[in-house]
A and B are shown apart, each in its own frame.
Chain A
Amino acid sequence: MLSHFRPAITMVLFFTLLTGILYPLAFTAVAQFAVPSQANGSLISRNGITVGSALIGQNFMRDGYFHGRPSAAGQKGYDASASSGSNYGPTSKMLLERVDADVEKLRKEGAAIIPADAVTASASGLDPDISPAFAGLQVERIAAARHVAAERVRKILDKHIEKPFLGFIGEPRVNVLKLNLALDANLGSGAG
């Protein structure tokens, strides 16, 4: 056993330097040079201000914006420094209470069919996307809040539905942040 002492220590130190320091640092340098946008988190800015990341969902509460899915990340949801799902099991009372409340809210807005993603929390709490069905539900509310024809909102939404990768991998989806930025760009910002 004692004869293994020297190789054990030497190897751990050597590989720590190689795979723990050299590999990530060199890779960071190359990444920052080659694809700085992705390497820094795909940030989006508007008028010189960073408004978020294209990959990370954020809270939208106002009626004039498309809302994301319920989120369990952090205290208020969409805390991008504390990703988390709800971890409610399928027979959890707390799950049912949360879903009931959200279903009721959507019904008040006139929804007939409630898409599953509209009332369920994502795994990361930071899901940037919603299903086209959930987005479609919200068009009327947004049009009313912004005092524009629903057709105009629907047109912007249709342009933002992303197809599955190569046509069959993954699901069709709508990036909520990009869509809301497009709303502001086309219909004027603020939206009461």
Chain B
Amino acid sequence: MTAVGWFQIGVLLLAVCVAARPLGRYIARVLQGKRTLLTRIVAPVETRLYAIAGVDAKHEQSWLDYTAAMLAFSAAGFIILYALMRFQAILPINPQGFPAVAPDLSFNTAVSFVTNTNWQAYGGETTMSHLVQMAGFTVQNFLSAATGIALAAAVTRAFARNAVGTLGNFWIDLTRITLYVLLPLSIIVAIGFLISGVPQTLLGSTDATTVEGAKQTISLGPVASQEAIKQLGTNGGGFFNANAAHPFENPNAWSNMLSIWSMLLISTALTFTFGEMVGDSRQGYALLAAMGILLLAGVGAVYAAETAGNPILAHAGVDVAGGNMEGKEIRFGQALTAFYVAATTGLSCGAVNAMHDSLTPLGGLVPLFLIHLGEILPGGVGSGLYGMIVMAILAVFIAGLMVGRSPEYLGKKIEAREMKLAVLALIILPLFILGCSAIAAVLPSALAGLNNAGPHGLSEILYAYTSAAGNNGSAFAGLNANTTWYNTTLGVTMLVGRFAFIVPVMAIAGSIAAKRKLPPSSGTFPTHGGLFVGLLVGVILILGGLQYFPSLALGPIVEHFLMTAGKTF
């Protein structure tokens, strides 16, 4: 670790916070239907769209109606994306002439993009046509992100409003977030990527004759426009197999900064939006502080583990001063690679600028653990915020038990119904992560997909299901996941990880919205101070730690000690 490295991390964090505050307030205005800079241009489009779609702009929905609309929308997105892949061969804009995508892979990929996971069981440049990349993946990058933010808005309104039965209108939230926030931001970020060297062309590839006279086929495509929303929407599905490690997705140190900045931007901004909408900005700062503390700890752990390097290679004669460089690119440096690794999993982004499979055992444990913590640091766009709110509810409940008072959060009483639903939401993820991993670890056809033996193989399986359930999408990519077993089980896990979490959370929102907002009294536990932040951090760590520690001990932790002892597999 170097001071310059930490300075880079600090500058980048500062740049995120500086931009997130005004953006958060802007998003609050957009969600509240207030006038903004873009209203003159966008409002006419909005009105016409609502008319065609049969949406009543004045109508508000109950939690159940809001959730049903969201499910219907996701289902429609899934069907269209699935069809695009299955009919790829006969559709236009397919310059490389790729054949139709197999049914299991299409299912897995369509689920993956609709749930904002963007798990890649395919190699982008060898499987998907430009049409699928643009009209399929880019679209879902926008829509799954907008869906997440809409849900976060609904949950936020539940706390902001006093004894009401409605949470807003899904169609309007979705439309406004896409038109006022995601599309304009994407255009700005795409320009940044384009200037730094990310290609934007409809050509499939170009041939070069290398200096030594060999033929090199260089894959190209409309990358910049997709890269922008992929980062902003915390989607993470790369245009290329190597994702943001590919020089065409991330050509230099400056694009790497932009890449990290844009993936952290909206989720960070939403904590400010939350504070703004509940009418007390300190509530947003408290959530952000808890996120920041845990994320920085994660960055530091990866940075330390990776710069320490691999003793097995050091023994083979490699200079350890450069740290562990297997699966890393020269141009990013260890500090911003470590930041990327932690951020992409503290978020639910899943874009990678280094191969997580080749991280040192402890360096690889961190991304795994950050996803286990629920991807709330600061989490996926929207999903991070509503995930964090569930943790906050849990934290005030535990605080209430300790002092013997009925718990409240933001003036709303937390009662048995909310707690049951919160626990239901939280129990589903470990059930699928640990359950499916356990089956895969004894199933010969699943074990055949492993790229590494020993404890690292278990880490590969565990990471796959963790990433799917957390809707992250990053991978220990050595695992050959393009098999019927993995495509199917990971697809189902992604669906469960997204929707089986959302439905109980929306039910909590519904019951919270209906409650009266109580004025704070002397017995109210303040949820904006250091004590609450500490409690929140503790609850997150204990919950994540207790559930997953045994599996981490068998994978990365035991591998760390074996590596130190010089054992290879």
Chain B, residues 234-261, CB within 8 Å of chain A (1/0): the string is 0000001110011110011110110000
Query: A177 near B: Cβ within 8 Å?
Result: yes
A38 to B183, CA, bound (A): 22
Output the nearest chain B residue to A165 by Cβ-Cβ distance.
B253
Given contacts A24-B226, A39-B199, A62-B212, contact A170 B247 (CB under 8 A): no
Say yes or no: B240 contacts A83, CB within 8 Å: yes
Given contacts A96-B316, A120-B325, A170-B333, contact A31 B211 (CB under 8 A): no
- Would you give the shortest CB distance from A97 to chain B, in whole angstroms? 9
A184 to B452, CA, bound (A): 42
Partner of B186, one of A20, A23, A40: A23
Partner of A60, one of B211, B316, B321: B211
Say yes or no: B76 contacts A9, CB within 8 Å: yes
The 10 closest A-B pairs by CB, nearest first: A170-B253, A116-B322, A87-B478, A123-B245, A89-B456, A85-B355, A83-B242, A20-B135, A124-B242, A4-B72
Of residues 167 to 186 in B, which have CB atoms within 8 Å of A's CB atoms? 171, 174-175, 178, 183, 186
- Would you give the shortest CB distance from B247 to chain A, in whole angstroms? 4
Interface size on A, residues (CB 8 A): 101
Query: A140 near B: Cβ within 8 Å?
Result: no
A19 to B183, CA, bound (A): 8
Which residues of A are found within 8 Å of B183, using beta-carbon distances?
18-19, 23
Query: B4 near A: Cβ within 8 Å?
Result: yes
Of A43, A69, A79, A88, the most chain B CB neighbours within 10 A belong to: A88
Query: A186 near B: Cβ within 8 Å?
Result: no
Query: B194 near A: Cβ within 8 Å?
Result: yes
Chain B, residues 209-233, CB within 8 Å of chain A (1/0): the string is 1111010111110101110010000
Given contacts A27-B190, A123-B353, contact A90 B77 (CB under 8 A): no
Given contacts A32-B200, A96-B316, A123-B329, contact A91 B309 (CB under 8 A): no
Interface residues on B, range: 35 or more
Output the nearest chain B residue to A168 by Cβ-Cβ distance.
B4
Say yes or no: A113 contacts B567, CB within 8 Å: no
Select the stretch in A125-133, A142-150, A151-159 that faces chain B. A125-133
Say yes or no: A82 contacts B125, CB within 8 Å: yes
Query: Could you give 11 example pairs across A and B, Cβ below 8 Å?
Result: A4-B68, A7-B54, A10-B53, A20-B139, A28-B200, A58-B216, A89-B478, A91-B559, A117-B330, A165-B252, A171-B333
Which residues of B are found within 8 Å of A61, using beta-carbon distances?
212
User: Given A52-B210, A58-B208, A116-B319, 5 other A-B contacts at CB below 8 A?
Assistant: A87-B478, A90-B359, A93-B569, A165-B253, A170-B336
Say yes or no: A130 contacts B330, CB within 8 Å: yes
Output the nearest chain A residue to B567 by Cβ-Cβ distance.
A91
Query: A121 near B: Cβ within 8 Å?
Result: yes
Say yes or no: A173 contacts B330, CB within 8 Å: yes
- Would you give the shortest CB distance from A142 to chain B, in whole angstroms? 13
Which residues of A are found within 8 Å of B198, using beta-carbon distances?
38
Say yes or no: A38 contacts B324, CB within 8 Å: no
Of residues 354 to 370 in B, which have CB atoms within 8 Å of A's CB atoms? 354-355, 357-361, 364
Say yes or no: B245 contacts A117, CB within 8 Å: no
Say yes or no: A27 contacts B73, CB within 8 Å: no
Say yes or no: B317 contacts A129, CB within 8 Å: no
A78 to B218, CA, bound (A): 10
Partner of A91, one of B206, B211, B568: B568
Say yes or no: A99 contacts B327, CB within 8 Å: no
Say yes or no: B248 contacts A56, CB within 8 Å: yes
Which residues of A are found within 8 Å of B80, using beta-carbon distances?
12-13, 16
Which residues of A are found within 8 Å of B187, using beta-carbon distances?
23, 27
Say yes or no: B568 contacts A12, CB within 8 Å: no
Of A53, A65, A84, A123, the most chain B CB neighbours within 10 A belong to: A123
- Would you give the shortest CB distance from A8 to chain B, in whole angstroms? 4
A90 to B325, CA, bound (A): 11
Say yes or no: A15 contacts B253, CB within 8 Å: no
Say yes or no: A7 contacts B211, CB within 8 Å: no
A54 to B225, CA, bound (A): 21
Of A89, A100, A103, the most chain B CB neighbours within 10 A belong to: A89
Which residues of B are found within 8 Å of A14, using beta-carbon distances?
49, 52-53
